[in-house]
Amino acid sequence: MRQDPSTIKGAETLMLGEMLTLPQNFGNIFLGETFSSYISVHNDSTQIVKEILVKADLQTSSQRLNLSTSNSAVAELKPECCIDDVIHHEVKEIGTHILVCAVSYTTQLGEKLYFRKFFKFQVNMLVILLLPTPALQTDEVFLEAQIQNITTSPMFMEKVSLEPTIMYNVTELNTVASGDDGESTFGKMSYLQPMDTRQYLYCLKPKAEYAEKAGVIKGVTMIGKLDIVWRTNLGEKGRLQTSQLQRMAPGYGDIRLSLEIIPDTVNLEEPFDIVCKITNCSERTMDLVVEMCNTRSIHWCGISGRQLGKLSPGGSLLVPLTIFSSVQGLQSISGLRLTDTFLKRTYEYDDIAQVCVICPYTSNEC
């Protein structure tokens, strides 16, 4: 700026410099930002005009909004004087917007005159891709929010958070444990460059009072709202909040089987204990029998065909079981079968969970 002859002397000491000049057009406006406009009505004539009323409306595809800060008329406007107004509006719709500025006034001869001006602009939106995915055999829901900056300037991401519904607690998975405080996976400076994309991950778990009610969680599809706050290069704030996000309702069927306790790593050919939770998701009482079928790698210990007793609607019970693996590596626990003796109906469960099987000996011994 010092070397530019068109720059005012000393302007380099101002951080904003020549960017203080008001733009002649609206530029790029995005959903969630605040639309601001300076309106000036100037008396170019040599006569005093009276009862000047300035009205600013914003026309969208669905509604017409009055943005004027005052709806009362100005008594008079002298030559070379002006009426100024600054309007603001948080943009909540995409598509074509038209700012309609209307001015009515009365001349010295008592003639009432009226004119309008139209300013048209487009409102675009940030590209957001939401991918809610239910976790296998659990009530957990993992949500990935993919956000892309489609503006032409860097964007500072002030906040990206998930506001869960009353039935869920949310955990943000966007930090890496480092000492006492977690460090953001995106680094210290949360800037999003033009056309860059960033993924945010969240985990939702049912609250304890709802987790025990299988029928309630089974029918829940609403999981929460995503709240995004950003700032552009001059500090203008934008905010976007989605509508209620939905997940695919889990298809538990009549009986839900989940693992409450399972070790992460076990030794080859050594028995280990697991605890299964069986929940009656139907509206009838069941009389259950559990059967265990060995697979190529998983072998069950104990009596197959054991009676578990009656289970009332919405009720659950814990069943401890013992198994061992004859094959190393990541193994899927399969081969459980439940039978309701009342209806003679059988439910089979495969790929209930996975466990890592290691050899505790040297490679030669294994």
Indicate the burial class of 265 (C-beta count within 10 angstroms; 0-12, 13-18, 19 or more).
Answer: exposed
Count of domains forming the chain: 3
Position 132 scores a pLDDT of: 59
Check pLDDT > 90 for residue 215: no
SS3 47: coil
- Tell which of 188, 218, 248 closes a domain: 248
pLDDT band at 6 (very low <50, low <70, confident <90, very high): low
Same domain (yes/no): 196, 282:
no
Position 140 scores a pLDDT of: 79
Q: Is residue 17 part of a domain?
A: no
Q: Is residue 66 part of a domain?
A: yes
Give 11's contacts (C-beta < 8 A, 6+ positions apart). Answer: 1, 17, 18
- Tell which of 248, 272, 301 closes a domain: 248
**Dist CA 115 CA 120 (whole Å):** 17
pLDDT band at 338 (very low <50, low <70, confident <90, very high): very high
- 3-state SS of 259-306? EEECCCEEECCCCEEEEEEEEECCCCCEEEEEEECCCCCEEEECCCCE
Which residue segment(s) compose the domain that 192 sits in?
127-248
Nearest to 100 by CA among 114, 86, 120, 72: 120
Position 106 scores a pLDDT of: 92
Give 205's contacts (C-beta < 8 A, 6+ positions apart). Answer: 139, 140, 168, 169, 171, 211
Are residues 50 and 43 in contact, defined by beta-carbon separation less than 8 angstroms? Answer: no
Which contiguous run of DSSP H or E holds residue 349?
Answer: strand 345-349
Same domain (yes/no): 132, 66:
no
* Over residues 124-149, mean pLDDT: 72
Same domain (yes/no): 271, 351:
yes
pLDDT tens digits, 286-333: 999 999 999 999 999 999 999 999 999 888 899 999 999 999 999 999
Neighbouring CB atoms inside 10 A of 138's CB total: 14
Nearest to 276 by CA among 263, 260, 292, 287: 260
* Over residues 9-33, mean pLDDT: 66
Indicate the burial class of 70 (C-beta count within 10 angstroms; 0-12, 13-18, 19 or more).
Answer: exposed
Lowest average pLDDT, out of 24-38, 49-63, 93-107, 229-243, goes to 24-38
**Dist CA 200 CA 172 (whole Å):** 8
Which contiguous run of DSSP H or E holds residue 111?
Answer: none
**Dist CA 324 CA 357 (whole Å):** 9
Nearest to 319 by CA among 254, 262, 253: 262
Q: Is residue 13 part of a domain?
A: no
Secondary structure (DSSP) of 122-140: EEE--EEEEEEEEPTTSS-
pLDDT tens digits, 90-121: 998 889 999 999 999 999 888 999 999 998 88
Euclidean distance between the first and final Cα of the chain, in Å?
73
Nearest to 269 by CA among 247, 291, 301: 301
SS3 353: strand
Token readout for 33 is 């930002």
Q: CATH no. for residue 227?
A: 2.60.40.1230
Please state, in angstroms and as integers, the Cα–Cα distance from residue 60 to each residue in 33, 130, 140, 240, following that order. Answer: 15, 26, 40, 18
Same domain (yes/no): 230, 145:
yes
**Dist CA 57 CA 34 (whole Å):** 15
Check pLDDT > 80 for residue 17: no
Check pLDDT > 90 for residue 240: no
pTM reported for the whole predicted model:
0.63
**Dist CA 332 CA 119 (whole Å):** 63
Nearest to 252 by CA among 331, 347, 165: 347
Specify the pairing of strand 29-30 against strand 112-124: parallel
Position 292 scores a pLDDT of: 93
Q: Is residue 307 part of a domain?
A: yes
Same domain (yes/no): 222, 284:
no
Q: CATH no. for residue 305?
A: 2.60.40.10
Position 180 scores a pLDDT of: 60
Position 268 scores a pLDDT of: 93
* Structure-model confidence comparison of residues 361 and 131, the more confident one: 361
Same domain (yes/no): 107, 142:
no
Position 184 scores a pLDDT of: 83
Which contiguous run of DSSP H or E holds residue 210?
Answer: helix 208-211
- Tell which of 66, 101, 124 closes a domain: 124
